[in-house]
Chain A
Amino acid sequence: MARVIVDVMLKPEILDPQGQAIARALPRLGFSGVAAVRQGKRFEVELEGPADEAALEEVRKMAETLLANTVIEDYTVRVDQ
């Protein structure tokens, strides 16, 4: 059984107030040296079969259709090693 990871992030030009709030909180907690934080979503898709090219294409379709809203979000698909 293979696991495919789909990472979904807001597009760079879309304001991410949650990431900004985290970035502002870090110095208060004693963490220094952070220039910026962006928050996103990670989906772990367990396949019944191998993660071959056909299966990956299917996962890309899932991301395009449901997991990401491509108006505001980008996604990447990779096999978990």
Chain B
Amino acid sequence: MSARVGIVTFPGTLDDQDAARAVRLVGAEAVPLWHADHDLKGVDAVFLPGGFSYGDYLRCGAISRFAPLMRELVPAARQGLPVLGTCNGFQILCEAHLLPGALTRNASLHYVCRDQRLKVETTATPWTNAFAAGQEIVLPIKHGEGRYVASADTLAALEANGQVVVRYLGNPNGSLNDIAGIRNEAGNVVGLMPHPEHAVEDLVGAPSTDGLGFFTSILKKLVDA
């Protein structure tokens, strides 16, 4: 078995070190991936962390989408490579059309930074199999552009196919259908606005260690494979 999880760093990425630490905490290997390389280094899964890649210029994730590394990642994800994007990572996955819809300015126009109650809606992804369906968890959120929007048809399809992965309990940003995270049709690509990588250790004052489930999920998926 191998459980090598690539962590992508773009210019302006903030959460790559926390993500790498969370990957190591559950016993997997964290492999740094650089935005300017055409090289996925043979990793078994990829984590796209949050931050402000390319300064959020134009639109969040709009420029990152064309980074050399993304030219490798997009076809690999379409072939089934497990990919998780959080916050800016979620925005990048939407801009890259690996996930449907888009993330727009919070309805309140305020940046929100708080502990957020969430409900795990589906465990049928490589990133959420360690949870129970319907489980309530608490993770930090911190974003100004987290309002999930999609066409009525896309929303209906997401709901019908069980592609809503995480839902807000108390909507912080005006996301349609309280959507905090979704998956692609195949299930291998997941994006969410909350930050599991910031909620893996009691020591740092995180609201919970509920984020660990995302990392134990991918480890289990890779070890069982």
Residues on A lying within 8 angstroms of B by beta carbon are 10, 14-15, 17-18, 21, 66-67, 69, 71-72
A72 to B59, CA, bound (A): 11
Residue among B66, B104, B150 having the largest count of chain A Cβ atoms under 10 Å: B104
A28 to B42, CA, bound (A): 59
Residues of B within 8 A of A21 (CB): 109
B105 touches A18 (CB 8 A): yes
A13 to B174, CA, bound (A): 14
Task: Please report the total number of B residues contacting A with Cβ < 8 Å.
Answer: 20
B interface majority secondary structure: loop
Q: 1/0 per position for B38-74, CB-CB distance to A under 8 A? A: 0000000000000000000011001000100000000
Kindly list 12 other residue pairs between chains A and B, CB separation below 8 angstroms, not including A17-B106, A69-B102: A10-B104, A14-B104, A17-B174, A18-B105, A21-B109, A66-B62, A66-B66, A67-B58, A69-B62, A71-B94, A71-B102, A71-B151
B187 is an interface residue with CB less than 8 A from chain A: no
Provided the pairs A71-B150, A72-B149 are in contact, do residues A18 and B101 lie with their beta carbons within 8 angstroms?
A: no
B135 is an interface residue with CB less than 8 A from chain A: no
Residues of B within 8 A of A18 (CB): 105, 109
When C-beta atoms are compared, the residue in chain A nearest to B106 turns out to be A17
A interface majority secondary structure: mixed
B177 is an interface residue with CB less than 8 A from chain A: no
Residues of B within 8 A of A15 (CB): 104, 107, 147, 149, 174
Question: Mind listing 13 A-B residue pairs with CB under 8 Å?
Answer: A10-B104, A15-B147, A17-B105, A17-B106, A17-B108, A66-B58, A66-B66, A67-B58, A69-B62, A69-B95, A71-B150, A71-B151, A72-B102
A67 to B65, CA, bound (A): 13
Residues of A within 8 A of B105 (CB): 17-18
Residues of B within 8 A of A72 (CB): 102, 104, 149
When C-beta atoms are compared, the residue in chain B nearest to A15 turns out to be B107
B133 to chain A, nearest CB (A): 29
A15 to B66, CA, bound (A): 27
Provided the pairs A14-B149, A66-B62 are in contact, do residues A71 and B106 lie with their beta carbons within 8 angstroms?
A: no
B154 to chain A, nearest CB (A): 9
Closest 5 CB pairs of A and B: A72-B102, A71-B102, A17-B109, A17-B107, A17-B105
Residues of B within 8 A of A71 (CB): 94, 100-102, 150-151
Residues of A within 8 A of B94 (CB): 71
B203 to chain A, nearest CB (A): 37
When C-beta atoms are compared, the residue in chain A nearest to B105 turns out to be A17
